[in-house]
Structure 1
Amino acid sequence: MINNKQKDQILKIWNSYSSSDKLVLDTKGNVLPNIDGEREKAIESLQEYLNEFVNGKIDIHEFKTTVDSFNKRNNLWGFTATKGQMFFNQLVRNSENKIDRLVSLLKKVLVEPKDLEEALEHIQTLENYCIENYKDAKDRRKVANPSSVGYFLSYFWQIQNHKEWPIIYTSLTISFEEINLWRPFENQKEAYSYFFKLNEEVKLLLEKETSKKISNWQVEHAFWKFKGNPNKEKKTVVEKNVEKETSEDSETKLSITANFKLEDYLFPKVAKLIEIGADTEQSSSKKGNQFENLVSEVFKLMDFDVQSLGQGYGRTPDAIIKFPEEHTAFLVDAKAYTNGYSLGLDDRAIKEYISYHTPILKKEGYTKIGFIIVSNSFKSNFEEFINDITWNTEIKRFILLQSEALLYLLAYKSKDRLTLPNIIETLISLNSPITSKQIIEEYDDV
C-alpha cells in the first residue's frame, strides 16, 4: 500500500513531529498540552452516556443533547463540527416518523464492533439508512449526509476502544492525499476499510523505525502537525506605522483557517462585502447602501425571507429576515464602518426599531424574534446593552456578526448543504461578536 518514497515522507513527517513541541490545538485554536490525558478522562463520561442510551436509560434526544453539551465543553475530537453533531442532529430530525427504527439501528452500530469486518457492516447499514432518507428527501440539504457516516461511527468506536479504532478525520485524508496515499471512494465502507488498513500500516512503519508502540492518537497528532490541523497559527506581517490592533482583530488574524478557499463558495458580488465595508473612497451614504444591499443578499442566499428596508424607510432597521416555518425573525442592521462599529448614539434608534417592529411581527405569528448587527468589526463592549435589550424587550437574541463570519456561514451553507435551521441554531448559540474563527470551528471537522 505504501511505496518507498511515501515511506520516506511519512518518516519525515514523524521526525518533524517528534522533534517539535508536540503541542496540539483544539478546534477553537486553544493549546491542549495533554490532549491524550484529557481524552482518557473524557472517555469515561462519554462511555457512560453511550451505555445509558444503549441500555434504554435515556432516549435518543437526551443522548444527542448530552453528547453535544459535553463536546462543546470538552472539544477534544472535533465532534461539534459538520460530520459529528450536525450529522447527528439531522439524522434524528429527519427520522421522527420512524424514530424507533433509528434507535434500534444506532444501538447496534454505535457499539464497538468485534472486528473490521463487522465495523464495515455497521458502516454500510447506517450509510444505507442515510441514502434511503437522502433519496426520499424533498430537500436533500436537510438530511444527514451519507458521507459523514465513517467519521460519526469511528468517533463512537474510538470512545470505547481508542487503541483499536482510528477516526477517519478529513484532516487525515487530506494529509494522506498530500503524499498520494488517498483517493475518492464510492462509499463509506470502502473508504474506512482503506483508511483503517493504511493507518495500521503507518503505525507498523513507525514502530519499526522507533522500536516503540505507536498509537492511533500519535499518528493523528503527527499528521495534524504536518498538514491536516486547520488550527495552525498563521504568521501575520505587521506593517510599520500601522495603529495597534485590538485584541479581537489580532485574534481573528491569528486564528484557525478553513479547509477550503472562501471565494470558491461565494458569488463574486457578495464576496465584496468585506471590501465595501472597509472602503474609504466612497461617500458614507453610498457605501452604506451597498453594504446593506449585500448583507440582505447574503441572507436571501441562506434561504431567509428578506424584507429590505434601510434608506428611505425612516427610523427602521435595514432589513427584516424571516423563517416562517419556525416562527423566527430577525431585525438586521448593517454597519459599514471602516474602523469598527461602536454603539454610540444608536442605542436609542435600536430600541425604537424593536418597539415598533416586534408587535407587528408577533401579530404575524413570529414568536422567536432576534436582532442582528452586521459589521466588519466591533469596537465597544455591547454586553450591558445586550443584557438590557434581552431582559426588557421581546428580543430573545441580540447578535453581533462580523462580515467575514457571515460570508463563511454562507460558504458552509453551500459546501455542506446547511439548512436554515442549522444556520439559525448556529447564530443563536455562539457568543457575540461572532467571528469567522467561531464559524470555522463550528463546521470544520479536524
Structure 2
Amino acid sequence: MLKALAACRTSALGRPSSSAATRFPFLPAGLCDLADLARGVRNGTESVPYRAADGEKPISCLFETRCADAFRCLGFTVRELGQGCGRVADCLALAPADRFGVILDAKVRREGYTLGTDDRQFCDYATRHSRELAPSGIDRVYFAVIGSGFRQHDLENLAQYMAAEPIRSVCFLETHALMRLVNDSIHQRDTFRLSEIDRLLFGNKIIVA
C-alpha cells in the first residue's frame, strides 16, 4: 500500500491541490482542506499565514491541529504541544505497541517549505523529545516536517545537520502524501498496521503522494 509514497523528488514546491474528496474518497471530511491550509489558503481564499480574523484560529495553528488529527486517524496516540510555540515541536505521534514515535512540525508556506534557520531548533526538538520518550519504551524516533512541498537539497542539509541527534531518520512529508496515507489506511483498515508507517519513515526522504 505504501510503496508508492516512498518516492523522492528534487523539487515539489507549492503544488496546487485537486479535489480532495474525489482524489481521496475515504479521507474524513475534516481533513479535506489539509493541502490548502499548508499553502495558507482557507475556504478557497488566499490568506496570510499566522493572521486570522477575530475569533478564528490562525491558519498555522489550524494546520497543526489538522496534522495531529491525521495522525490520530492513522492510529497514533498524539500529544499536541506547540501551537505556534517555538520551544517544542508541534506534536508527538506515538505508537507505544510498536515502540516508535514521530516528532512532527507543520509548516504553512505558500510556495512550499525551504530550510532557513530552523535546523538548530529542529535539533533541540530531537534531543528534548527523544529523551522524554525513552523511559516509556519508545526506542525509535523519527523527525517529520509536514508541508505543501520540499526541496531535496534542504532534506540533505537537514539530515546532515541532525546526524548526531538521537533520531532514526528525517523526512519531509507532503500534505497530499499524508492525505493518501489516511485515505488508504481507512480503505484497508483490516490489514493496515502502524508498522507500515515505521518502515515508510525509515531513511531520510521526501515522501510524496
Q: In which range does the TM-score fall when normalised by the shorter chain?
A: 0.7 to 0.9
Q: How far is 1:334 from its partner?
A: 0.3
Q: What is the CA–CA distance in structure 2 between the aligned matches of 1:371 and 1:307, rounded to whole Å? A: 15
Match status 1:281 vs 2:47: yes
Distance in 1 between the 2:161 and 2:77 partners?
A: 28
SS at match of 2:12: helix
Residue 328 of structure 1: CA displacement? 0.5
Letter aligned with residue 111 of structure 2: N
* Aligned AA (2:155): F
The 5 A counterparts of 1:236-255 are 248-249=11-12
- Superposed, 1:32-431 pairs within 5 Å as 248-249=11-12, 261-278=22-39, 279=41, 280-285=46-51, 286-311=58-83, 313-379=85-151, 381-389=154-162, 391-417=163-189, 418-428=192-202
SS of the residue corresponding to residue 202 of structure 2 reads: helix
Distance in structure 2 (CA, Å) of the matches to 1:315 and 1:300: 23
Structure 2 partner of 1:433 = 206
Within 2, Cα distance between the matches of 1:282 and 1:344?
19
Contact 2:173–2:206 (8 Å) recurs in 1? yes
1:282, distance to aligned residue in structure 2 (A): 4.2
* Change in CA separation of 1:423 and 1:261 when aligned onto 2, cut-off 3 Å: farther
Q: Distance in 2 between matches of 1:247 and 1:388?
A: 19
Q: 1:365 to 1:290 in 2, by over 3 A?
A: same
> Could you say which structure has the higher helix fraction?
1
Contact 2:98 2:194 in 1 (8 A): no
Distance in 1, Cα, partners of 2:134 & 2:187: 34
CA–CA distance in structure 2, aligned partners of residues 249 and 356 of structure 1: 30
Q: Could you list the per-position Cα deviations for residues 24-61 of structure 1 after superposition, in whole angstroms to 9, with x for gaps in the alignment?
A: xxxxxxxxxxxxxxxxxxxxxxxxxxxxxxxxxxxxxx
Instruction: Figure out how many residues of one structure are paired with residues of the other and give that number.
Output: 185
Stretches of structure 1 that go unaligned for 5 or more consecutive residues are 1-80, 87-245, 254-259, 437-446
Higher relative contact order (CA 8 A, sep 6+): 2
The whole-number CA distance in structure 1 between the counterparts of 2:37 and 2:105 is 16
Using structure 1 for the length normalisation, give the TM-score. 0.39
Extract unaligned runs of 5+ from structure 2. Answer: 4-8, 52-57
Higher strand share: 2
Given that residues 306 and 320 in structure 1 are in contact (C-alpha distance below 8 angstroms), is that contact kept between their aligned partners in structure 2? yes
Q: 1:262–1:411: 8 Å Cα contact kept in structure 2?
A: no
State the Cα RMSD in Å. Answer: 2.5
CA distance in 1, matches of 2:197, 2:158: 24
2:158 alignment partner AA: F
Identity among equivalent pairs (%):
23
Partners of 1:387 and 1:314 in 2: CA distance: 22
**TM-score normalised according to structure 2 size:** 0.80
Deviation at 1:314, TM superposition (A): 4.7
Gap change, CA 1:283 and 1:313, over 3 Å in 2: closer
Q: Any idea what SS the aligned residue of 2:82 has?
A: coil
